[in-house]
Structure 1
Amino acid sequence: MTSEKDSKRIVIKIGSSSLTSINGEVSRRKLEKIAEEVVHLKEDGFEVLLVSSGAVAAGYRKLGCLTRPESLAEKQASASIGQGLLIESYSDIFLSHGYVASQILITRDDFTDELRYNNARNTINVLLERGIIPIVNENDTISMDFLRFGDNDTLSAKVASLVDADQLIILSDIDGLYDADPRENEHAKLLREVNEITPAIEAAAGDPGSANGTGGMKSKIDAVKIALASGISTFLGKATTPTIIYDSVYQNAKGTYFKPKSNSPNLTSKERWIAFNSGPEGKIIINDRVKKAIMKNGTSLKPTDVDSVSGHFDQGAVVNILDTEENTIGLGVMNYSSDAINQIIHKTERHLLTYEKVAIESDHFVCHLHSEVLSTI
């Protein structure tokens, strides 16, 4: 079949409940269903990357646990068993269809470090361009709590942004986004298309619903925010629905389609890293005189524009830019360390700070990016 979307790049997030049996072990049948649809897309000319949960769920019974472990050490030990089982199953199934799968284990730290971020991007691009199917998962075996994504919904959105995906597909145990919790309200309606994550939509997001998973609807909405801000269409649907993956790519599936607005900014790779991954290291408070100028024109900050500096950071760090009422204006890349800035404030007209477009695209986008996206990461 020839598609008008040939060569487009698809990222598919698969949750633990979509991969494991009722006993918590990897379900060969579920994996084969997913693989068959991925292969179908590959034969149509798509590049496909999987962000797969399931390592802890696949391994904890082999560790001797009767239920999903609670302690970090037991989770990591379970993951060390389950990661091997999971990639072995994926690899065998895809090889039977003539495709090679690769494993990529990643931590949050790989995203916050710009060099490692770019290395990951380059590696995945090579794999996709060579026809390989990358299987990405968080490195649960070594990740510490403060370095964890917390769920693979967030990871999938960051990976989709990293590789400039055209579409993110999030598979779950629910049909899509409803205007109320369908488990509690029989009159809840499925939202077929959403262009903006409003407070009402966030209020409808519930708690985690699967015993084998970590992410609920709230984590999926947070992931959608990142994808929409990156200009990536996103689909949320039920993993057990027949041909859900294939149909979602061709806009025929039952579920919720999240589509970026036509005027969404086209962020560069650098800007996406700053917006979603950099982890601001300090704060700069600017005076009201310059606030409007940088919001409108994106001018760089001079020492006379800075009222105060908070936190310790080195040259090249990303920092939060605040007004005098401590409202977030944007993000900036520092040309000087915090110590140097404190020494030269009001003594030179040299530019201290280079703004990226991500921080000053427009009033609307700044508010959306920071209150709706950055605060959730």
Structure 2
Amino acid sequence: MSSPTRKALAGAHRIVVKVGSSSLTTAEGGLDPARLDALVDALAARYANGSQVVLVSSGAIAAGLAPLGIPRRPRDLATQQAAASVGQLALAHAYASSFARYSLTVGQVLLTADDVVRRSHYRNAQRTFSKLLALNTVPVVNENDTVATEEIRFGDNDRLAALVAHLVGADALFLLSDVDGLYDGDPRAGAGARRIDEVAGESDVDGVKAGSQGASGLGTGGMASKLSAAQLASSAGVPVLLAAAAQAPQALADADVGTAFAATGARLSARRFWLGHAAGATGRLWLDDGAVAAVVNRRRSLLSAGITAVDGEFDAGDVVELVDPAGRVVARGVVAFDAAELPALIGRSTHDLPAEQRREVVHADDLVPLRNR
């Protein structure tokens, strides 16, 4: 009998499905039409059963390699961007043609990390997704590799899918790749690796050794990125299924394959989720034990008296990490001072500061605790 998590996955109304490059393309021939059509068949069946579907698809760079005569995935950013420019067009056309077999319209959504870090960009993206879904369209999402620089890249589409799942208010996330689940070791290394069927919490994946790149070399995300993305989504209240793309029909029907991750945390507001998980941190504030207790346990603002040290270069309005005396990140927040201003304020009571500096270093409304002490 299916577990409650698998029942939640099977019955989810709004779903995000991520598919990796190796499941759609080959280095020699670019896009594989048969595999892409098979994926669309499964997605269309789920749509026909009443679900709204958002597809996060890798494959743009890989799809551009063959047309450009490039034998393997390039390492330099400029060539990756050129391949993506060619491949995104091919990928979008292939999806539009395949979904048209079911009289379904697709809309392409290209995102950079800026689009989820910057509040105005995020709200625009959210409105776009909402309208596309209201118009019975299937959004096809990819990182905008043609313009993304190293500084504003998501790093892999697994993390992008987890962030999109929260952005669209998804009820479930499906991560499809060339591996049929999470194993406690490398299944390619021979006998002995055991597949983990259910993950109810972090203790269930203690000791798991996850590789850093897919077997094909076409993508950027290996099992480590999938595990990280699954934990990110599940900790924010979204159940996750990790399965092979070849199992898509069963994964999207009864979810009785792969590894299921239970939702372990409560849903955060959109702003707090992006602050805690999407925005890039530009510095660190070291806190004493009293400040950690106030910030994490009592959800209070951070005052200058509780700060012991400052690391990094940042401006007022940037996101910083708050760390305890042992160096563990306990919260993230929007800092109200420039890095150059803070050393003179460290350890001082608010009442002892000049009038123009008597404010919270990180206000409680701009702060997200990440762990409980």
Q: Which of the five TM-score ranges fits, normalised by the shorter chain?
A: 0.7 to 0.9
Shift of 1:176: 0.5
Alpha-carbon distance in 1 for matches of 2:370, 2:73: 45
The amino acid of 2:95's aligned partner reads Y
Shift of 1:234: 0.8
User: Over aligned residue pairs, what C-alpha RMSD do you find?
Assistant: 2.5
Alpha-carbon distance in 2 for matches of 1:301, 1:358: 9
Aligned: 1:211 with 2:217: yes
Q: Kindly tell me: are residues 307 and 178 of structure 1, through their superposed partners in 2, closer, same or farther at Cα, counting changes over 3 Å?
A: closer
Deviations 1:203-248 (A, max 9, x none): 421242113222211111111121122111111111113613423x
Alpha-carbon distance in 2 for matches of 1:61, 1:97: 28
Which of 225, 231, 234 pairs up with 2:240? 234
Alpha-carbon distance in 2 for matches of 1:129, 1:202: 43
1:290 — aligned with what?
291
2:312 — aligned with what?
311
1:370 — aligned with what?
none
Aligned: 1:277 with 2:283: no
Q: Kindly tell me: are residues 11 and 308 of structure 1, through their superposed partners in 2, closer, same or farther at Cα, counting changes over 3 Å?
A: same
Alpha-carbon distance in 1 for matches of 2:118, 2:300: 26
Alpha-carbon distance in 2 for matches of 1:27, 1:311: 46
SS at match of 1:210: coil
1:374 — aligned with what?
none
Shift of 1:332: 2.2
Alpha-carbon distance in 2 for matches of 1:350, 1:66: 57
2:3 — aligned with what?
none
* TM superposition score normalised by structure 2: 0.87
Aligned residues: 357
Tell me, yes or no, if the aligned pair for 1:316 and 1:336 is still in contact at 8 Å: yes
SS at match of 1:241: helix
Shift of 1:335: 3.5
1:77 — aligned with what?
82
Deviations 1:108-145 (A, max 9, x none): 22222222122212211221222110111111112222
SS at match of 2:31: coil
Which of 52, 59, 63 pairs up with 2:64? 59
Tell me, yes or no, if the aligned pair for 1:202 and 1:221 is still in contact at 8 Å: no
Deviations 1:317-359 (A, max 9, x none): 2221223444322112234444555566542464332235973
Shift of 1:55: 1.0
Aligned: 1:187 with 2:192: yes
What residue ranges of structure 2 are gaps of 5+ in the alignment? Answer: 1-6
Aligned: 1:152 with 2:157: yes
Shift of 1:93: 1.5
Misfit runs of 4+, over 6 Å? 3-7
Question: Bigger shift: 119-128 or 43-52?
Answer: 119-128
2:146 — aligned with what?
141
The amino acid of 1:19's aligned partner reads L
The amino acid of 1:251's aligned partner reads A
